Chains A and B, each alone.
Chain A
């Protein structure tokens, strides 16, 4: 695991970011739970500063190369990308779970793209809008795009080189209980966005802690 000290954020700023992501993803898990009718368990969030190659490798190493991602970018006071990623083998099971499970296979297959986009849209919007609200900011969130392939394809990192292009990589893994569905919610932010992020985090910390920010 890369050293946390490589992040240009203070411990408290990093803590604030982790907590924001935790709250955003927890809300998203609550909406996923309502869609699939089964409890969704979450890991503790992990935040690393990685090269784009390492970010793609982190996901591919865990899950192999057959992945599906729902990708949405956000821009405004903060710019980055959010992805819902899971193994390709889980894709139909997820669609089956969100559509209620009574549909014949051919219907599930024909609904796959649409259902994935809608599911991703609800989960990622829930996560991003929670974070935006807590930061007192609004983000413009793009429409969902479905991407199939390796970690590198999903992160659209075709032009990235080893050791270059550091990204702030946040991820949480989730599991749907009693269903064979698991995946990741990840956010990627480029380094220039980190300066804006840091300012927003500082404001957030001041608002949250009131007078005792120096404590």
Chain B
């Protein structure tokens, strides 16, 4: 099963890094990318995606606020929040939203685990 992944990060380099790992792990997956939460919402409403990987620290609003907005559009979308800011409060708020916390810099095994989970959830 191939998925379309929404990648949201204000850093272009960070998006390139996620795309590189994604292309190595799941060459058959497709992706759409957004450099701002507003753009992510537009893409989600327009093209849609089956999973999202969102940065935490972004201008405007953080990745947790964006996760809630994505969930308002698709309540079941698997979301990973990506950050080097691994404070307990942020991790537990991520978990309360039913999202996965991934540490920056992103490693392929961590991304792989999220993609397996996302594919499993989308199959249900």
**A interface residues, Cβ below 8 angstroms from B:** 11-12, 15-16, 18-19, 22-24, 26-27, 29-30, 33, 39-40, 42, 44, 130, 134, 205, 208-210, 212, 215
Contact A215 B10 (CB under 8 A): no
Interface residue B45 (Cβ < 8 Å from any Cβ of A) = no
Interface residue B17 (Cβ < 8 Å from any Cβ of A) = yes
What's the minimum C-beta distance from B63 to chain A, rounded to whole angstroms? 12
What's the minimum C-beta distance from B86 to chain A, rounded to whole angstroms? 5
Contact A12 B12 (CB under 8 A): yes
Given contacts A26-B83, A44-B59, A212-B19, contact A15 B12 (CB under 8 A): yes
Contact A212 B20 (CB under 8 A): yes
Contact B11 A215 (CB under 8 A): no
**B interface residues, Cβ below 8 angstroms from A:** 10-14, 16-17, 19-20, 56-59, 83-90, 104-105
Contact A209 B16 (CB under 8 A): yes
Q: Which single member of A26, A29, A33, A208 contacts B20 (CB below 8 Å)?
A: A208
Give the top 5 A-B pairs by smallest Cβ distance, nearest first: A26-B84, A26-B85, A39-B89, A23-B84, A19-B11
* Residues in A whose Cβ lies below 8 Å from that of B89: 33, 39
Contact B84 A215 (CB under 8 A): no
Q: What would 24 A/B residue contacts be, using CB atoms closer than 8 Å?
A: A15-B11, A18-B11, A19-B11, A19-B14, A23-B84, A26-B83, A26-B85, A26-B104, A27-B85, A30-B84, A30-B85, A30-B87, A33-B87, A33-B89, A39-B87, A39-B89, A42-B85, A44-B10, A44-B58, A130-B84, A208-B13, A209-B17, A209-B20, A212-B19
